[in-house]
Amino acid sequence: MNSVLFLRSLAMCGVVCVATGLAGAQSKSVQPMLLVVNQGDRDLSLVDPAAGKQIATVPVDGVTGHEVAASPDGKTAYVPIYGDSGVGKAGTDGSKLSVIDLASRKIVHTVDFGHGVRPHCAIYDRNSGMLYVTTELDKSVSIIDPKSLKIVGSVPTGQEQSHMLVLSRDGSRGYTANVGPGTVSVLDMKGRKTLAIIPISKDTQRISISRDDSMVFTADQTKPQLAVIDTATNKIKMWVPLPAVAYGTASTLDGRWLLVTQRTGKQVVVVDLKTMKVAQTIDVADGPTEVLVSPDGKSAFVSCTRSKQVAQIDLEQWKMTRLIDAGVAADGLAWAK
């Protein structure tokens, strides 16, 4: 090879190597990270889901947080500081939201609600660009601008203990599970008003919505059954019998299956949303609470509060593939991607 060809080859090699390096850096930057809030440890676990390992923990302002949301760019986590009480029980009333920079693994800002509100569930709405946080003691959902980190409004729920929130895909409708009243509030998120209050039972927990927005699911805490709400009528469409009392729910990305945690049975049941019957039962660790489907739709991750772990479920084989160590009373989950 002559010197000219050699130099050309060397230059091409440099271009390819640089391009490959950039591609590697880009792929590494978009790798999803699983966030886990540990109530007992009062911190946030950062988990590498590919390796199945906790890579770091971040304290969340010294008081108990339960849930977490992440910004769409995966750089920031938001943890409402609920306090040390149970829902509707005596204890401290949290009044802040910790804003965590995931790169430096530090709290970089605190949003102060000004008084005790027991902030609990946080959702980052990509449609409006707003961060919604349930504020139980105010019977509302507070609206925070993530850019200014200012509270810019609220949506009344009309009920006490509005614990969990879920949004329709376009962000126009919100649904809260109101624990003690045993109801679900239907919210107009743009109009900032309550549209309906749906009676469920004496006690309800958690809430999710189907992929096509046609159904909302919430778990009766007095009987082993799941309420299915028709979003067109805002009424209970049917009840799905379950092996045990349910807790958290989440639909698979194809919209065909609903994963339901059963804390007393150490199991996750799979409901076929075509037949509305239990199709699978999957053994996990102790205290399965929240369930989150991976961005690629291949796995589900389940926080197991009593075992201090997160269970990973293969959604093709319908079985638990591994347990990932987290912290004491592992609870809320979110994807940073």
pLDDT at 95 over 50: yes
- For residue 11, being part of any structural domain is answered with no
Count of the separate structural domains present in the chain: 1
- Segment 270-297 shows an average pLDDT of 97
Domain span holding position 80: 32-336
Amino acid letter, 185:
S
- Segment 59-85 shows an average pLDDT of 94
Beta bridge partners of 219: 205, 226
Number of neighbours of residue 110 by Cβ within 10 angstroms: 13
Helices marked H in the chain:
3-29
Which residues make Cβ contacts (< 8 Å) with residue 235, sequence separation at least 6?
198, 229
DSSP letter, residue 9: H
Expressed in percent and rounded to 5, the helix, strand and coil fractions of the chain are 10, 50, 40
Sheet holding 299-304, edge to edge: 288-293, 299-304, 309-314, 319-325
- For residue 262, being part of any structural domain is answered with yes
Stated pTM of the model: 0.90
Number of neighbours of residue 93 by Cβ within 10 angstroms: 16
Amino acid letter, 334:
A
pLDDT at 281 over 90: yes
Per DSSP bridges, beta strands 53-59 and 130-135 are: unpaired
DSSP letter, residue 127: T
pLDDT at 27 over 80: no
CATH of the domain at 43: 2.130.10.10
pLDDT of residue 12: 43
The CA distance from 34 to 45, in Å, is 8
- For residue 141, being part of any structural domain is answered with yes
Amino acid letter, 181:
P
User: Measured in Å, how far apart are the chain's first and last C-alpha atoms?
Assistant: 47
The CA distance from 90 to 118, in Å, is 12
pLDDT of residue 193: 98
- For residue 25, being part of any structural domain is answered with no
- For residue 38, being part of any structural domain is answered with yes
Residues constituting the chain: 337
- For residue 272, being part of any structural domain is answered with yes
Residues of the chain with pLDDT > 90: what percent?
87
Q: State how far the alpha carbon of 223 is from the alpha carbons of 32, 91, 202, 203, in Å.
A: 36, 27, 10, 10
Sheet holding 257-262, edge to edge: 249-251, 257-262, 267-272, 277-283
The CA distance from 309 to 320, in Å, is 13
The alpha carbons of the chain give a radius of gyration, in whole angstroms, of 21
Please choose, from the candidates 225, 245, 240, the residue with its C-alpha nearest in 3D space to the C-alpha of residue 277. 240
- For residue 143, being part of any structural domain is answered with yes
Which residues make Cβ contacts (< 8 Å) with residue 12, sequence separation at least 6?
none
pLDDT at 19 over 70: no
Q: Read off the pLDDT of residues 294-336 as tens digits, 9 standing for 90 and up.
A: 999 999 999 999 999 999 999 999 999 999 999 999 999 999 9
pLDDT of residue 30: 55
pLDDT band at residue 265 using 50, 70 and 90 as cut-offs: confident
- For residue 84, being part of any structural domain is answered with yes
